[in-house]
A and B are shown apart, each in its own frame.
Chain A
Amino acid sequence: MHISEGVLSTQVLIAGWAASGVGVYIGLKKLEPDKIARTALVASAFFLASLIHFKLGPSSAHLTLIAPAGLLLGWQVFPAVLAALFLQAILFNFGGFLVLGANLFIMAAPGLAAYLIFKKLIINNENKFAVVYAFIAGALAVLLAALLAGAALAMSNHEFINIAKILFAANLPLALIEGIITALLISWLKRAAPEFLA
């Protein structure tokens, strides 16, 4: 879900940087020393996840782990994803530097949404209900990212409806896979390391 350089309009690029800048600022402001190692760990997982590709019919997709990143980090998802996307741009030619702000918002905002909507529901409910909420968070985060990517492309004079349909259809299987991964991860964390969810 990395939008390439040269695709988005200048206005969308500026808006992406502005929105992401706010997120990164708040994320760094709220970053406590004891959460720095966790942020690096999640950023590394996000960084590596995009290298894991799998075939989905005629196309292929890569993992994003947006929802787990958001649920584990909260606002720190912005600086974590920023560092990961920056390194992906340098090391793998994914996305680009000018488009980094927009890509960051597309990936980090759904993670933050997962945190704000589902974190308390996951913590305060029994494991079986928490797993269901985690699955929904994982799936919705991917679909929200696809929607944001579609909106960014539409605002850059692309045909929104067609793009939205293609992106939604292409990411639907990925949403299911990410939902399952998020559910399994949260289920394990609730049993083995609940302090990670605190």
Chain B
Amino acid sequence: MLKKISALIALIIFSLNNFAYAHGTGWREVELKAAALEFLYSDGELMSYCEAKIYSPRDDKIAFQTMRTDELGRVAFVPDQQGQWRVVVSDNQGHRAEAKINVTQNLNNNLNNNNLISQQDIYIRAVLGVSLLFNIAAIILLRRRKAVNN
């Protein structure tokens, strides 16, 4: 009888132990090289807390990671293979930024990679834009006058 009870207790303890392991969680600190990007609006405002999706080189449809940018508009992830990774950040108000970064063999991305326009460039481009608009108008005006004269 005692043997049977001992066996039953052992069985219950063993089962509980297995149950606990099946749903257990744990963590460990690891040393990984992350790729980090900063997302901004054109006026320099940070794209904070925006939806971010990261696509790996092997799957361009299903996101490798879905997250939000942090308060400072940053996204960081750990690539597990080399190739072109795509990061899409959207604020769900019509603004969307897409970054493509090339992760090299030792999982370093090119830190010089960006598509931001410097403040000085903005002024030059603004002047160029206004100039182009008046030139377009001048061309239309000349064509209309030519058509009237003919």
Contact = CB atoms under 8 A, between A and B. Distances in A.
A and B part of one assembly:
yes
Interface of A: 1-7, 31, 33, 36-37, 39-40, 43-44, 47-48, 51, 53, 59-60, 62, 83-84, 87-88, 91-94, 149, 152-153, 158, 162-163, 166-167, 170
B120 interface: no
A54 B41 CA distance: 13
B133 A62 contact: no
Given A31-B140, A92-B125, 20 more contacts: A1-B94, A4-B94, A5-B96, A6-B88, A6-B96, A7-B90, A7-B94, A33-B141, A33-B144, A36-B137, A40-B134, A44-B133, A47-B126, A47-B130, A48-B126, A60-B45, A87-B129, A91-B125, A149-B94, A170-B93
B130 A51 contact: no
A39 to B, nearest CB: 7
Contacts of A84: 129, 133
Given A37-B141, A53-B43, A91-B125, A44 B130 contact: yes
A51 B117 CA distance: 13
Contacts, number: 89
A163 B136 CA distance: 37
Interface residues of B, number: 31
Contacts of B115: 93
Given A33-B144, A93-B115, A51 B137 contact: no
B96 A7 contact: yes
A26 B43 CA distance: 34
Contact of A88 (B98, B129, B140, B144): B129
29 contacts: A2-B94, A3-B95, A4-B94, A6-B88, A6-B96, A6-B98, A7-B95, A33-B144, A36-B137, A36-B140, A37-B137, A39-B137, A40-B134, A44-B129, A47-B129, A48-B129, A48-B130, A51-B122, A59-B45, A60-B41, A60-B45, A83-B133, A83-B136, A84-B129, A92-B117, A92-B122, A93-B115, A152-B94, A163-B92
Interface of B: 41-43, 45, 88, 90, 92-98, 115, 117, 122, 125-126, 128-130, 132-134, 136-137, 140-141, 144-145, 148
Contact of B144 (A36, A51, A153): A36
Contacts of B141: 33, 36-37
Contact of B42 (A7, A93, A162, A170): A93
A158 to B, nearest CB: 6
Nearest to B116: A93
A62 B141 CA distance: 31
Contacts of A40: 133-134, 136-137
A59 B49 CA distance: 13
A93 B136 CA distance: 20
Find the residue from A87, A93, A166 having the highest chain B CB count within 10 A. A87
